[in-house]
Amino acid sequence: MLITKLGHSCVLVETEDRIGLFDPGVWSDQDLIDGVEHVDRIIYTHEHPDHFDIDMLSRLVAKFPDANVICNQEIADKINNSGIDVLVRDESMCTVKFTSPHEQLPIPGSKPPSENGYHFKDLFTHPGDSQSFSETKKVLAMPFIGPWGKTGDSINKVIELKPEYVLPIHDWHYHEQAREWLQGLLEKSLKPHNIQVLSAKSGIKHKF
């Protein structure tokens, strides 16, 4: 399995028989996404534009016409209304959804969107913008930065679930020095629990 972060919360997961692309949104790295050579599944956790962008989906479907989309009903409705010709599913043989609610937003009058977390090939887990889920596979993509949560709560969630590896995501908000600081903080916090922190730098392939 190869796992490559493509900016913010976008992650490419490559296994022997399936390749999944998670949450390609407006804050993803477009150049890295353009370099992807094959995708079987495009998986969206929720409809916020930093995770789901209809124009980017249109480009991906044009490049990978045999790819399927895995998403919730709210996103499925947006895709169907857009006229994009792509097969949309709730889950498939390579993906399993799990309960992973979006955290409450710190904006008066705002409501969090519907959200699913997804496991991919029983190896990788993407919870979207959640700290309130209760399961993970070997590799967990975890948001540690967001206006809806505290970094310490995310660290505690990782310690609770004990994945073998954690990939920091949802970090468009941080400049490079801040990412380096977070990387050190996570390594110091999680090493005593035998959890290895993967580099959050985009474009690095992690092989398992």
In 10 A of CB 131, how many CB atoms?
21
Q: What structural domains and CATH numbers belong to the chain?
A: 2-201 (3.60.15.10)
Residue-level pLDDT at 109: 86
Q: How far is CA 180 from the centre of its chain?
A: 20
- The 10s digit of each residue's pLDDT in 135-156 is 999 999 999 999 999 999 999 9
First to last CA, the chain: 5
> pTM for the complete prediction?
0.93
Residue 167 near residue 136, CB atoms below 8 Å = no
Report the SS3 class of residue 169: strand
- Phi then psi for 32, rounded to 5 degrees? -70, -40
d(CA 126, CA 120): 8
Residues of the chain whose pLDDT is less than 70?
A: none
